Amino acid sequence: MSLFGKIFGSPDDEKSDSKIGWKQLNNLGQLSEIIEESDNIPVIVFKHSTRCSVSRMALRHFENEFDLDGKVTPYFLDLLNYRDVSNEIANKFEVQHQSPQLLLIRNGKCIYDASHNAIEVESLHRYL
């Protein structure tokens, strides 16, 4: 690993030690699956910029607080590599694009979204 990688970590490091069983969101077709899936169990989508230290801190904070195993299906979007998916999320769920951003999808609709320091697991409990 490079010196930069040792200091700042790599995108794969950000998920590898996570206790969250993230599903990778990496194609537009998955958005239809998420909408359908959200009829049975709420879905969260964490939109993450792998080049942003604020996004990295928000992700780590969220993962450390996470206590919703089995209550939601978690999806992870590397928005730098899949910007088209990020743009379609903003369009389809009628939310302004943010990074980092957390969306809660239930019954095909975004019922909650937060960005930056407002991303907290505790806030999701009110909607579940």
pLDDT in tens, 47-84: 999 999 999 999 999 999 999 999 999 999 999 999 99
Is it the case that residue 2 has pLDDT exceeding 80?
no
Can you read off the two tokens belonging to residue 64? 């450390």
Alpha carbons 7 and 19: distance in angstroms, whole number: 22
pLDDT at 7: 37
Average pLDDT, the chain: 89
pLDDT of residue 17: 65
Q: How confident is the model at residue 1 (pLDDT cuts 50, 70, 90)?
A: very low
CB 73 within 8 A of CB 35: no
pLDDT greater than 50 at residue 4? no
pTM of the model: 0.86
Residue 53, sorted as left (phi over 0), alpha (psi -120 to 50) or beta, turns out to be alpha
Contact 117, 123 (CB under 8 A): no
Sheet strands side by side (includes 23-24): 23-24, 73-78, 43-48, 101-106, 109-115
Q: What is the CB-side half-sphere exposure of residue 90 using CA atoms within 13 A?
A: 13
Cα 44 to Cα 3: distance, rounded to the nearest angstrom: 33
Q: Summarize pLDDT for 79-101 with one digit per residue, the tens.
A: 999 999 999 999 999 999 999 99
